[in-house]
Amino acid sequence: MTRDTPGSADLECLALCKQFDAFTAVDHVSFAVPSGSFFSILGPSGCGKTTIMRMIAGFLEPSSGDIRIKSKSVLDVPPNKRPVNMVFQHLALFPMMNIADNIGYGLRRQGMAKPEIGRKVDEALERIGLPGIGKRKVDELSGGQKQRVAIARCLVLEPDVLLLDEPLGALDLKLREHMKVELKALQAAFGTTFVYITHDQSEALVMSDQIAVMNHGRFEQVGSGRELYYRPETAFVAGFVGDSNRWKGRVTRAESGLLQITTQAGLQVTGADHGRGLATGDQAELFVRPEAIRISRQAEDLSHLENRMSGQVTTLLFNGADSRAILEPQTGGDPIEVALPQSGEYADLKRGDVLHFAWAGDQANAFAVNDQAAPSLEAQ
Amino acid sequence: MKSKTLTSLAVLTAFGLGLAGSASAETLRLLTWGGYAPDEVVAMFEKETGHKVEVTLSNNEEMIAKLRATGGRGFDLAQPSQDRIAGPQAEFGIYKPMDLSKIDSSQFIASMLEATKANTTVDGEVYGVPHVWGTSGLVVNTAMAGSVMDYTDLCNADVAGKVTYRLKRPTLIGFAFSMGLDPFAAYGDEAAYQAIIDQVQAKLIDCKANVKTYWGGGDELMNLMRSGETVASMAWDTGGWKLNADNADITFVAPASGALGWIDTFVLPAKGKADQAAYDWINFVMQPEIAGMITDVAGNFTASKGADEHVSADLKARYQASFPPADVDNIKWYPPVPAGLEALEGAALDRVKAAN
Amino acid sequence: MRAGNKLALILLLTPLLLWIGLLIIIPHIDMFLVSIRERVGVGKYQISLANYWTFLGEPLYLVTFARTAIMSVLATVLTLIIGFPVAFFIAKIAKGRLQSSLFLLCLVPFWVSELVRTFGWMILLRETGLISNLLQWLGLVDGPVELLYNDVAMIVGLVYTSMLFMVVPLVTTLESLDDSIIEAGYDLGGSTVSITREIIIPHAMPGIVSGSIVVFMLSLGNYLTPTMLGGKDSLWFTELIYSQFIVRFNWELGAAFGFMLLILSSAIIWLLLKLTGQTLEKTMT
């Protein structure tokens, strides 16, 4: 599969806007997706991600802005002529056709010769690991098989960009985990540019090269999963991507990026603004990931960290590798969730045990409390 | 429990029977033509006798079909034409004999009563007495189709495409007379009748191109004539007179070969339950004043003696204009139709309809 | 307890069984018995197939029979061709209030009796009627034009009378078609024609078949429309049955005709199901 010069953008959106009457669904969104990469748009439902996708596919017309594929504007190109294909949320396989006809549909529409179509379809089935199922009916396949067929149906057309609209939403958890890996592998195998929209952060984090976090019609932050996770640029991103302990409070001291914050419950904590320039007296919101908090049975083990506290275990949340404990700080204040290392030393932890815990100041992300409301918990 | 139910049922039945037997007031279920039982007359009758009247409107064929389907049940008095009584009675037994002693024969025009009795006698029993009579002939827009004087004139070139008639037996009979044949004389001889029908069929097929449409109902005919879409038709006298009231050019014309005369009668369905009410109704409506009222509504004259005096002057004038005395004598009265003739006629009518 | 259940079941089934028995099975048995009776004299009958031989031996009856079948098929096809876009618009394009008012619009003609509806068409189509006058006013024709009393008027009437019965099942099946399947068709490069042919029509097939069955049966069994709009050449098989029963008093032949009509409609429906690969169960659910 030949691709343009590496790094060139297959898909570009420029100041894309979409208004529905008085409601702005997409508000000046610009981004570029490099050729062959896996790009995700992550956001809660209603954030406008589906609208973007439908504009790219051609089912909606942007109110303003431009969409370019391989540097050419496609605004005047109808959906059936755009070099993009879409995997729908509920897959939208054609129930009136068998699997081979589903996959061959687009090729037939291109006017390809019958034997050629047959060969291509067989090849696609081979590549998705389902050889010989061409004669079967759609409803005879399992959820995961349908998924692969839906992707193959698009990929045989060798689109410049493949759009995927939360295609894993309907699958059960186990299969979803499996399909994440498989999708990534398929993308690598075909080398096609994927644009994937989801509200599930783990899907986005696992598969994507680049993720755009979207809220209220705007992109909050675009970056790799790692960047989003460790260096969220907005409170929304910090809250939406991954779990966090969060406090609201007031900055009592600001010194070269390190902040001293007094939370509403009276806790004294330190955090970092990572260049966001908070000043003394600002209202701030502080996010600390459970796994960024170190715990120990001895206070001295943690002496090198800025925020040191101790607390009593009120709840143990056993979840295998991702087990947590909820601690009640002895100084008072909100309960704090911490990750339990799985090296075995805390296997005997019980409710009521007292633990020391601490985190480095730069692991606590502080944001000025502003117009943007942090996402509610159910959005995660 | 069971015996209790039975007892109460028995009591109820006895009560019901007692009511029906003792009360002189009955419900009269009347199967008749439009206009023969005006609301006003019904109200007067109910007031005078205490009977209730339920009127069902129909036509000859449907009356007979209805009674045949139920074996003569469901109605207490029906009014088919006198030629459609003997045949269906012999074939289906749907009527019961009249008790002439319960009818005031002095109210009837004697000649018409005798003729009807003769025509409706089966096995020595009389089944019908006359009520309303009338004719069918031609309704013509004299300003535009003055040439139409007889049934066969409907096939003239000068009225091509502007003619309508029914595809029913009166058309066959009328055309036969107009062609110089005598279908009534051949009623008893199936082969001779078939020969006549064959000739008429050929004529009607020839004539088909002249016809705009075969009309099916009175309203349809009225619309066709009134709008001027057709200028000549075969129809009942009353239809012509009604149109004459709106447009002086249109009127009923007694055909040269004779109008066809029909008499609608009173008959008792075989399983009727209110015979007394039926006789009461007959005697009531045959009173000259009441008969006059019916004529004013229906447009046709009745067999009631002296009723003419109570008919509106308008109607009398139209009648006299359409029927000079010679034409009255020329009316061809329908004799009873022998059972089975309808099948021959029907086949001919079907063939006419199918012809191109 | 079990006896009680049984009783409840019997009570529940009784109306249905009575309905089927009294209104469908018994009349048909009776009609069949009448149809194999031959009148040999006044009030005398014998069992024979004479009525069926009469039917087969008389070209008029066969021609009318075939004509009725062909015209009904034609009316059905036209109803489908007109009804399909209408149904598609109602099911897929119209939203909210527009959708329900369009649906209502299809229903409105059925608030008046068939007779009135047919009279309505007569007023429109007749020589002195609305359309004729309009054409003259527009100067498109010189004199009055007669649009009534021909086969076209009859077909128009039949299509109009049956439209609702085609649109309703089509709307139901089309509504069950997920929009994203149509979008997927476009997305994969399908044109409107190919999507209609390969996706929408196959999906709507049960609705098409059940609508067609109903419309075909209604047209075949229609009496008023052909007689009133069709004019002097409008032979319709139900007209023959009516006249045998009511005008000719020949119930025997009428019953035989009725049975032939039943066989005809069953045969054509069977053929339709075979051709489209549908089953009666599938289309009627």
- Cα–Cα dist C264/C278, whole Å: 19
Query: Model confidence over A131-183: pLDDT tens digits?
Result: 888 899 999 998 888 988 998 999 899 899 999 998 887 788 888 888 888 88
- Cα–Cα dist B113/A265, whole Å: 116
- Tell me, yes or no, whether B107 and B120 share the same domain: yes
Would you state the pLDDT for residue C2?
A: 63
- Tell me, yes or no, whether B169 and B316 share the same domain: no
Compute the Cα dihedral for B288, B294, B295, B300 and give only its sign: negative
- Cα–Cα dist A52/A41, whole Å: 9
Q: Is the pLDDT of residue B310 over 70?
A: yes
| Contact assignment for C198 to A81 by CB distance below 8 Å | no
Task: Evaluate whether the domain defined by A243-370 bears CATH number 2.40.50.140.
Answer: yes
Q: In this structure, is residue C134 part of a structural domain?
A: yes
- Tell me, yes or no, whether B222 and B342 share the same domain: yes
| Model pTM score | 0.80
Spell out the residues 6+ positions from residue A323 whose beta carbon is closer than 8 angstroms to its own: A316, A317, A339, A340, A342
- Tell me, yes or no, whether B156 and B253 share the same domain: yes
Please count the residue pairs, one from chain A and one from chain C, whose beta carbons lie less than 8 angstroms apart.
Answer: 66
Would you state the pLDDT for residue B5?
A: 45
Query: A-chain residues within 8 Å CB-CB of C282?
Result: none
Q: In this structure, is residue B17 part of a structural domain?
A: no
CATH 2.40.50.140 spans which residues of chain A?
Answer: 243-370
Would you state the pLDDT for residue B107?
A: 92
What H or E segment, with its residue span, contains residue A118?
helix A114-127
Spell out the residues 6+ positions from residue B225 whose beta carbon is closer than 8 angstroms to its own: B139, B141, B164, B231, B233, B243, B250
The type of residue at B169 is R
| Contact assignment for A109 to C203 by CB distance below 8 Å | no
* Termini Cα distance of chain A: 38
Residue B41's closest CA among B228, B247, B310? B310
**A90 and chain C in contact, CB less than 8 A:** yes
Find the CATH number of the domain harbouring C70.
Answer: 1.10.3720.10
Would you state the pLDDT for residue A128?
A: 85
Would you state the pLDDT for residue C284?
A: 66
Q: In this structure, is residue C41 part of a structural domain?
A: no
Would you state the pLDDT for residue C3?
A: 66
C41 phi and psi angles, rounded to 5 deg? -175, -175
Question: Distance from A87 to chain C by nearest Cα, in Å?
Answer: 8
- Cα–Cα dist B134/B301, whole Å: 7
- Tell me, yes or no, whether B210 and B343 share the same domain: yes
- Residue of B190, B211, B350 for testing the chain C interface, max C β-carbons within 10 Å: B350
Q: In this structure, is residue B229 part of a structural domain?
A: yes
- Tell me, yes or no, whether B270 and B230 share the same domain: no
- Cα–Cα dist A290/C241, whole Å: 87
The mean predicted confidence, pLDDT, of chain B is: 87
Would you state the pLDDT for residue A370?
A: 64
- Tell me, yes or no, whether B111 and B193 share the same domain: no
Q: In this structure, is residue B4 part of a structural domain?
A: no
- Tell me, yes or no, whether B200 and B166 share the same domain: yes
Task: Evaluate whether the domain defined by A9-235 bears CATH number 3.40.50.300.
Answer: yes
> Which residue bears the tokens 């109704």?
B281
Find the CATH number of the domain harbouring B194.
Answer: 3.40.190.10
**C95 and chain B in contact, CB less than 8 A:** no
**C75 and chain B in contact, CB less than 8 A:** no
Query: A-chain residues within 8 Å CB-CB of C203?
Result: 95-96
Q: In this structure, is residue B166 part of a structural domain?
A: yes
- Tell me, yes or no, whether B90 and B41 share the same domain: yes
A155 φψ region: left (φ > 0), alpha (ψ -120 to 50), beta (else): alpha
Percent of chain A with pLDDT over 70: 95
Distances (CA, A) of C45 to B126, B167, C35, C41, C211: 26, 29, 11, 7, 42
Domain limits for position B173: 135-260+332-354
More confident residue, B194 or A270: B194
**A94 and chain C in contact, CB less than 8 A:** yes
Question: Distance from A91 to chain C by nearest Cα, in Å?
Answer: 8
Q: Is the pLDDT of residue B13 over 60?
A: no
A261 phi and psi angles, rounded to 5 deg? -125, 135
| Contact assignment for B342 to C232 by CB distance below 8 Å | no
| Contact assignment for C43 to B68 by CB distance below 8 Å | no
**A89 and chain C in contact, CB less than 8 A:** yes
Q: Is the pLDDT of residue C1 over 60?
A: no
**Packing angle between helix B288-298 and helix B275-285, nearest 10 degrees?**
80
Q: In this structure, is residue B88 part of a structural domain?
A: yes
Which residues lie across from B214 on neighbouring strands? B165
Number of neighbours of residue B294 by Cβ within 10 angstroms:
26
Query: C-chain residues within 8 Å CB-CB of A50?
Result: none
Residue B216 pLDDT level (bands cut at 50, 70, 90): confident
- Tell me, yes or no, whether B272 and B300 share the same domain: yes
Would you state the pLDDT for residue C285?
A: 61
Q: Which two tokens stand for residue C122?
A: 């007569």
Would you state the pLDDT for residue A104?
A: 93
Question: Distance from C243 to chain B by nearest Cα, in Å?
Answer: 8
Q: Is the pLDDT of residue C131 over 80?
A: yes
Average pLDDT over every residue of C102-127: 85
- Tell me, yes or no, whether B205 and B341 share the same domain: yes
Question: Distance from C127 to chain B by nearest Cα, in Å?
Answer: 7
Average pLDDT over every residue of C204-219: 92
Query: Model confidence over A290-315: pLDDT tens digits?
Result: 888 888 888 888 888 888 888 889 98
Would you state the pLDDT for residue C233?
A: 78
3-state secondary structure of A319: coil
Query: Model confidence over C172-204: pLDDT tens digits?
Result: 999 999 999 999 999 999 999 999 999 999 999
Highest mean pLDDT: which range of A161-165, A230-234, B214-218, B351-355 = A161-165
Q: In this structure, is residue B317 part of a structural domain?
A: yes
Q: Is the pLDDT of residue A3 over 60?
A: no
- Cα–Cα dist B225/C128, whole Å: 11
Q: In this structure, is residue C56 part of a structural domain?
A: no
Would you state the pLDDT for residue A137?
A: 92
Q: Which two tokens stand for residue C13?
A: 């089934």
Average pLDDT over every residue of B59-87: 90
Question: Distance from C24 to chain A by nearest Cα, in Å?
Answer: 37
Would you state the pLDDT for residue A194?
A: 93
Residue A30 pLDDT level (bands cut at 50, 70, 90): very high
Spell out the residues 6+ positions from residue A13 whose beta carbon is closer than 8 angstroms to its own: A29, A30, A31, A32, A52, A56, A65, A66, A67, A68
Q: How many CA atoms lie within 13 A of B101 on its CB side?
A: 0
Percent of chain B with pLDDT over 90: 53
Query: A-chain residues within 8 Å CB-CB of C189?
Result: 80-81, 106, 109-110, 157
| Contact assignment for C249 to B213 by CB distance below 8 Å | no
Torsion, CA B256, CA B260, CA B261, CA B264, rounded to 10: -160
| Contact assignment for B213 to C149 by CB distance below 8 Å | yes
**A144 and chain C in contact, CB less than 8 A:** no
More confident residue, A2 or B64: B64
* Termini Cα distance of chain B: 72
Query: Model confidence over A95-134: pLDDT tens digits?
Result: 999 999 999 999 999 999 999 999 999 998 988 888 888 8
Encode burial over C101-127: b for 16+ CB neighbours within 10 A, e otherwise. ebbeebeeeeeeebeebbbebbebbbb
> Which residue bears the tokens 């994969």?
C188
Percent of chain C with pLDDT over 90: 32
Average pLDDT over every residue of A37-45: 92
Q: In this structure, is residue C49 part of a structural domain?
A: no
Name the domain count of chain C. 1
- Cα–Cα dist B5/A367, whole Å: 89
CATH 3.40.50.300 spans which residues of chain A?
Answer: 9-235
Question: Distance from B83 to chain C by nearest Cα, in Å?
Answer: 14
Percent of chain A with pLDDT over 90: 37
Name the domain count of chain B. 2
| Contact assignment for B93 to C149 by CB distance below 8 Å | no
- Cα–Cα dist C77/C83, whole Å: 10
Q: Is the pLDDT of residue B1 over 80?
A: no
The mean predicted confidence, pLDDT, of chain A is: 86
Query: C-chain residues within 8 Å CB-CB of A90?
Result: 178, 180
| Contact assignment for A79 to C183 by CB distance below 8 Å | yes
3-state secondary structure of B301: strand
Torsion, CA B184, CA B188, CA B192, CA B194, rounded to 10: 80
More confident residue, B254 or A374: B254
Which residues lie across from B252 on neighbouring strands? B139
- Cα–Cα dist C82/C77, whole Å: 9
- Cα–Cα dist A201/A240, whole Å: 8
| Contact assignment for B212 to C240 by CB distance below 8 Å | no
| Contact assignment for A96 to C189 by CB distance below 8 Å | no
Would you state the pLDDT for residue B120?
A: 92
Q: In this structure, is residue B10 part of a structural domain?
A: no
**Segment among A191-205, A327-341, B112-126 with least mean pLDDT:** A327-341
Q: In this structure, is residue B16 part of a structural domain?
A: no
Would you state the pLDDT for residue B101?
A: 93
Torsion, CA A123, CA A127, CA A130, CA A134, rounded to 10: -20
Number of neighbours of residue A131 by Cβ within 10 angstroms:
12
Question: Distance from C279 to chain B by nearest Cα, in Å?
Answer: 37
Query: C-chain residues within 8 Å CB-CB of B92?
Result: 43, 249
The type of residue at B51 is H
What H or E segment, with its residue span, contains residue A211?
strand A210-215
- Cα–Cα dist B16/B75, whole Å: 20
Please check whether residue A154 is in contact with residue A194, taking contact to mean a CB–CB distance below 8 angstroms. no
Q: Mind giving me the DSSP string for B145-170?
A: -TT--SGGGGG-GGGTT-EEE-SSHH
What H or E segment, with its residue span, contains residue B206?
helix B190-207
- Tell me, yes or no, whether B194 and B162 share the same domain: yes
Query: C-chain residues within 8 Å CB-CB of B218?
Result: none
The mean predicted confidence, pLDDT, of chain C is: 87
Please check whether residue B255 is in contact with residue B149, taking contact to mean a CB–CB distance below 8 angstroms. yes
| Contact assignment for C246 to B65 by CB distance below 8 Å | yes
Q: Is the pLDDT of residue B204 over 80?
A: yes
Domain limits for position C79: 61-284
Please check whether residue A249 is in contact with residue A80, taking contact to mean a CB–CB distance below 8 angstroms. no
Largest Cα–Cα separation, chain B: 82
Please check whether residue A327 is in contact with residue A335, taking contact to mean a CB–CB distance below 8 angstroms. yes
**Segment among A143-157, A214-228, B142-156, C239-253 with least mean pLDDT:** C239-253
